Amino acid sequence: MDASQGRVVLITGASSGIGRACAELLSARGHIVYGTSRRPGAVEARGWRLVEMDVTRDDSVQRAVDEVLTREGRIDVVVNNAGYALAGALEDISVEEASGLLDTNLLGVLRVCKAVLPSMRERRAGLLIHISSLGGMVGLPFQSFYSASKFALEGLTESLRQEVAPFGIQATLVQPGDVRTRLTENRVKAQRSGPGSAYQAPFETALRTIENDERNGVPAEDVARTVLELMEGGPVRVRYAVGKLAQRAAVLAKWVLPSRTFEQIVMSLYGLSRG
Ligand SMILES: NC(=O)c1ccc[n+]([C@@H]2O[C@H](COP(=O)([O-])OP(=O)(O)OC[C@H]3O[C@@H](n4cnc5c(N)ncnc54)[C@H](OP(=O)(O)O)[C@@H]3O)[C@@H](O)[C@H]2O)c1
């Protein structure tokens, strides 16, 4: 299909932030956009539709995908974007908090892929865009499970690309650095990270840096523009980084610098030093 023709796009987590910016830009560009939210009634969508989807529930994901397929007959592009952040020292994170995060950020992608791939395989076409993070390339202190979910998404997508390529389906990763969205307000803090935690003081110092960086991050529209460009371009690369130059350069530095030197730089950025 010609990239300029309206493509049917499903974007998970389109009630705010990056998902919403993608929905607005792609629909303005003439694409047929379906965004998802767990509470679609609470969100205003102009020029695109919102459907209910909780990516942690198989039935909810299947119902939303079926609704789009019934209305449009196809889904050309999926932006797997729904996600949230969990902060706290690894020692303070409960198994329930870790599983909840992985259920949304990682297994949510599995559920959506399983629901859309049969129709994409049948049509021998489709593009899966996975919103990862630069935190999926560099492990950040007090964000262990957030980083783990994005590292896992990176591996999952590398594998998936090779499996679906023979069916004419493409998959790619978009890795934003810090972006100004509601992720900061919606971040879940490990329940045990408060008073009584051995990590309370360094955690709070690091969290101030994390939140400050996000509030000064790039606008969500920058990520949406990357999504639009790769959607309308030729064959997609494995990954696309978006964000401030210093943050994109940090990923390069990880491969170039000795590992302990790089780690020392990251630690000092978050106010940590070796004991
Ligand atoms: N902001 C950043 O600095 C940054 C950097 C790198 C990567 N990212 C990634 O970008 C993606 C979008 O985040 P954002 O920054 O735009 O945050 P956001 O403004 O908080 O938006 C998160 C979206 O995810 C949806 N969501 C959360 N849990 C869900 C679930 N169980 N089922 C369905 N939808 C769910 C929310 O929808 P409802 O609550 O309406 O259901 C919301 O639309 C995430 O994957 C995040 O990890 C963000």
Torsion angle, CA of 38/39/40/44, rounded to 10 degrees?
-130
CA of 157 to the centre of ligand 1 (A): 18
Give start and end residues of each alpha helix (H) in the chain: 17-28, 58-72, 95-105, 107-123, 144-164, 183-186, 200-215, 220-232, 245-256, 259-269
Number of H helices, E strands in the chain: 10, 11
Catalytic residue among 27, 37, 133, 146: 146
Residue 51 DSSP symbol:
E
Q: In angstroms, rounded to a whole number, what is the distance separating the alpha carbons of residues 186 and 207?
A: 13
Q: What is the mean pLDDT of the chain?
A: 96
How do residues 27-53 score in pLDDT, each as one tens digit? Answer: 999 999 999 999 988 888 899 999 999
Task: Give yes or no for a contact between 169 and 117, defined as CB atoms under 8 angstroms apart.
Answer: yes
pLDDT in tens, the chain (275 residues): 455 579 999 999 999 999 999 999 999 999 999 999 999 888 888 999 999 999 999 999 999 999 999 999 999 999 999 999 999 999 999 999 999 999 999 999 999 999 999 999 999 999 999 999 999 999 999 999 999 999 999 999 999 999 999 999 999 999 999 999 999 999 999 999 999 999 999 999 999 999 999 999 999 999 999 999 999 999 999 999 999 999 999 999 999 999 999 999 999 999 999 98
Collapsed DSSP state (helix, strand, coil) of residue 221: helix
Q: Is 147 a catalytic residue?
A: no
Collapsed DSSP state (helix, strand, coil) of residue 49: strand
CA of 70 to the centre of ligand 1 (A): 26
Q: Is 270 a catalytic residue?
A: no
Token readout for 113 is 């892929």
Torsion angle, CA of 250/174/164/85, rounded to 10 degrees?
90
Question: Given its phi and psi angles, is residue 254 left (phi above 0), alpha (psi -120 to 50 degrees) or beta?
Answer: alpha
Domains of the chain are 8-244 (3.40.50.720)
Smallest CA-to-CA distance from 119 within 147, 159, 78 is with 78
Q: In angstroms, rounded to a whole number, what is the distance separating the alpha carbons of residues 179 and 108?
A: 21
Q: In angstroms, rounded to a whole number, what is the distance separating the alpha carbons of residues 89 and 83?
A: 20
> What is the predicted pLDDT for the residue at 5?
72
Whether the CB of 53 sits within 6 Å of ligand 1: yes
Whether the CB of 56 sits within 6 Å of ligand 1: yes
161 to 158, 170, 181: CA distances (angstroms): 5, 6, 29
Mutate to test the pocket of ligand 1, among 22, 81, 146 (most ligand atoms within 8 A of CB): 81
